[in-house]
Structure 1
Amino acid sequence: MPNFQNEFPLDQKLCYLNHAAVAPWPSRTALAISSFAQENNSHGATNYLQWLKVETTLRQQLKTLLHAVSTDEIALQKNTSEGLSAIAYGINWKQGDSIVITDQEFPSNRIVWESLANKGVRVITATLNNNNPEASIINACDASTRLVSISSVQYGTGIRVDLKKIGTHCNQQGILFCIDAIQSLGAVPMDVQDIGCDFVVADAHKWMLGPEGIAVFYIKASALDQLSLNQFGWHMIENPGNYDTSHWDVASNAKRFECGSPNMVGIHGFSASLSLLLEVGLSNIEKMLSAKIDLLLTLLQDKPGITILSPTDPARRAGIVTFQTDKIESQALYQQLMKQNVICAYRGGGVRLSPHFYTPDEVLINAVKLIP
């Protein structure tokens, strides 16, 4: 296992607990991006063919991370919202169709589906506030359900659902299954073949430790032709480098969702970050992160007046712990902690803390000491 602590030379004054928002880059990622910028500054695109090799490597890394069948199922997008929009406006909806989401979704995984109301599509919301959230999601489905779209881990409470149970139901009923994996990919393992999902979308900049402005969009091969295209350009065709022909065909793989020039800066950074995650191993990362959450929960529960809003069962959580205290209102506590260099967020009605696998225990201890 690599000595990953050297990858995160964070300012010692900070308690950085905000990976569920924007993660710090590993040193290798900062180096990859700065080296790319320096190369561009001195040589322009002289080595463009080498840049394309990095892009090929990134697609292979994402295939490995997701356990996809092929890199043909991997597209690169700007962000999660772009991928979700490609799905929402690619499906041939019929009046009366419905989509099932949950009552804890980030706006990206709600607004895009609500925008389909003018096509006669209904959004049905399942509650996660019970002991069997998978049953709530499954029971919300009926004969009108065309798509289930849920977050693998919810951004506010951090609740984690059993994706395979939902995938099994969707496959049995002929329902498309979409996962917003931004709060889990890079924190816990994901196997799209085992889950049986059709789509996965996630930005790089949270648990995958990459830059903003680049995301992965997984489309199961059998679902590829179920989405019509709404963006067109030189890059989403077969043989995109052949500029001398007027004939063109849509790319036969997921690249059909990449209409224009690639984000080469983002590609270099994303690939560097994934190289670290894959070297450490997602199973190891999950175990180390779970130990951090165990410690954080113990520290919080030892303080009088603390209410944990997140699941404490390891099977129901990933890297998010959200809490309240009866000593100070949560918004005020968030602002107070930020002023004391505890980098966190106000989400889900409380203060959200989100360490990663590399976060030193002292950071957790010092942060909790600052809570009244």
Structure 2
Amino acid sequence: MTHPFSSYRKLFPILENTVQLSSCSQSAMSLPVRQAIDDYLAVWTTRGADWGYWMEQVALARAEFARMIHADADDVAVLGSVSDAASSIASALRFDDGRDGIVTGSLDFPSVCHVWLAQQSRRGAQVRFVQARPGASDTTARLVQAIDASTALVSVSQACFYDGQLVDIAATGAAARAQGALQFVDAYQSAGSRTIDVRAQGVDMLAAGAQKYLLGIPGIAFLYVRPELARQLEPAVTGWFGRVNPFAFDPARLDFAASAQRFNTGTPPMMCASVARASIGLLNEIGVPAIEEWLGLLSAVALEEAPRLGLEVVSPTVPGAKGANTAIRVRNAAEVEARMLAAGFVVSARNDVIRIAPHFYNTAEDVVGALRELARLTR
């Protein structure tokens, strides 16, 4: 299978000696990312403090993310994590007048679910977990069925961290709107590997961190809020960068920026933004639709090879029902992850699965080699 991005492999030094297939946890470091870190450190070393440079990097990172999801930069806030983004959103919502329900999935990432549960224990929300079965392809329908007139918020993971199963965010968003509810999309496991068009898909709110398929590092997340909605919400979780003019330094005035910038909190993560500007810029240069197509082919390779080797696939096996991550049942997953690393394969363990999660720089041979080594180690 010809690799369409072979010229880019040289940008990832680890690939010379190691096969990295852990993009559901941490992608390989690229030379542009390393250069961004070096540039940040050089500015710090030679200038001491340069707010102009820092703010420029944050703005450029926000613009690259906005470009990726087909939004305007002003409609994107910059925070420290997806948990922070969800908390800021939750603080701006009301759970009264008979509309107190939060619908989410039982396989969504715990961190976001915990934010919603905090609204239940403190603010009167009622969280309803839709049971999502590992390997299922009907989770979208289950979520849609659970939305009713009492629903205030629908929270979905576009791609599941555990088994990679996908949710059709356009369908769940439409169902939410039909009942007068809002939708929050956790795109941490999908942004950078799947095409996202927040306008075409009718997205209310979407958050993603940079560590995984966005090729960056932890410490920064991006929050898109639909412009009309942003102007209606006032978050109680806030900070000086959520103001109309952060540099007014007025402690007695709580005004909110006119756009999604009102969901900013404290000082943004400058070095992480420098990295995100470089990493997302690389993805935008290549084009996410082309990346998504290649990852679909690698998924097909994994789904074909794993059963042949006697491995149990936990992910959906229906074409198009899963993202880039293919989860394999392994009893002692953490131990096997370490042994895979010793054999030259970086994979990611979660509970009772090993996740094979390639990116555009990976080849079919990478995927097959990792699965064969996994089969050898688990016999």
- TM surpasses 0.5: yes
Q: Which amino acid aligns with 1:56?
A: A
2:147 corresponds, among 133, 141, 147, to 141
How much has 1:40 moved relative to structure 2?
Answer: 1.2
Question: How far apart, CA to CA, are the structure 1 residues paired with 2:95 and 2:39?
Answer: 46
Q: Which runs of 5+ in 2 are unaligned?
A: none
Does 2:322 correspond to 1:317? Answer: yes
Tell me: CA distance 1:33–1:114, structure 2 relative to 1, closer, same or farther (3 Å): same
Equivalent positions of 1:22-41 (< 5 A) are: 22-41=26-45
SS of 2:299's equivalent in the other structure is helix
Q: Say which SS state the counterpart of residue 188 (structure 1) adopts.
A: coil
Deviations along 1:265-312, one digit per CA (max 9) or x if unpaired, are 111110000111001001111011112222222221221x32111113
Counterpart-to-counterpart distance in 2, 1:226 and 1:349 = 43
Aligned to 2:353: 350
Runs of at least 5 residues in structure 1 that lack an aligned partner in the other structure: none
1:216 aligned partner: 222
Superposed displacement of residue 216, structure 1: 0.4
Q: Find the residue that maps to 1:272 and give its secondary structure.
A: helix
Structure 1 280/117 Cα, relative in aligned 2: closer, same or farther at 3 Å? Answer: same
| Preserved CA contact (<8 Å) 1:20 1:354 | yes
- What is the distance in 2 between the residues matched to 1:55 and 1:352? 32
Residue 58 of structure 2: which of 50, 55, 59 is its match? 55
> 1:286 and 1:232 mapped to 2: Cα distance?
35
Structure 2 counterpart of 1:106 = 109
1:17 aligns with 2:21: yes
Question: Structure 1, residues 201-252: CA drift from partner, whole Å, max 9, x if none?
Answer: 1110100001210010111112214433224443222222334897563211
Per-residue CA deviation, residues 330-372 of structure 1 (Å, 9 max, x unaligned), is: 4553343244332222226321111111113332232222122
For residue 80 of structure 2, the aligned residue among 71, 78, 81 is 78
Is the CA contact 2:156–2:169 (under 8 Å) kept in the aligned structure 1? no
Q: Which segment drifts farther, 307-316 or 160-169?
A: 307-316
> 1:93 and 1:34 mapped to 2: Cα distance?
46
Residue type of the alignment partner of 2:39 = S
Shift of 1:152: 0.1
Q: Larger deviation: 184-193 or 34-43?
A: 34-43
Select 1:65's aligned residue among 56, 64, 68.
68
* Cα gap change, 1:249 to 1:109, in 2 (>3 Å): closer
Q: Percent identity?
A: 28
Kindly report which structure 2 residues correspond to 1:264-343, keeping only aligned pairs within 5 A, or say none: 264-303=270-309, 305-324=310-329, 329-343=332-346
Match for 2:90 among 88, 100, 105?
88
**Alpha-carbon shift at residue 170 of structure 1 (Å):** 1.3
Task: Name which of structure 1's ranges 88-97 and 16-25 shifts more when overlaid on structure 2.
Answer: 88-97
2 CA distance for matches of 1:237 and 1:110? Answer: 28
Task: Measure the CA separation in 2 of the matches of 1:43 and 1:307.
Answer: 55
Separation in 1 of the partners of 2:329 and 2:250?
63
The CA distance in 1 between the partners of 2:60 and 2:95, in whole Å, is 36
How is 1:357-368 mapped onto 2 (pairs within 5 angstroms)?
357-368=360-371
Three-state SS of the structure 1 residue aligned to 2:224 is strand
SS of equivalent residue, structure 1 residue 217: strand
Query: Amino acid of the residue matched to residue 85 of structure 2?
Result: G
Call closer, same or farther: CA 1:95–1:14 in 2, change over 3 Å. Answer: farther
CA contact (8 A) 2:163 2:315 kept: yes
- TM norm structure 1: 0.91
User: TM-score by structure 2 length?
Assistant: 0.90
**Matched residue type, 2:324:** G
Matches within 5 A, 1:250-269: 250-269=256-275
Q: 1:167 to 1:366 in 2, by over 3 A?
A: same
**Local SS of the residue matching 1:306:** coil
- Find runs of 4+ consecutive structure 1 residues off by over 4 angstroms: 243-248, 328-332
**Paired residues of 2:311 and 2:329 also in contact (CA < 8 A):** yes
Q: Which residue of 2 aligns with 1:185?
A: 191
Give the number of equivalent residue pairs.
Answer: 367
Q: Please name the residue that 1:115 is paired with.
A: 118
Counterpart secondary structure, 1:192: coil
- Of the structure 1 ranges 59-68 and 224-233, higher mean CA displacement relative to structure 2 is found in 224-233
Amino acid at match of 2:73: T
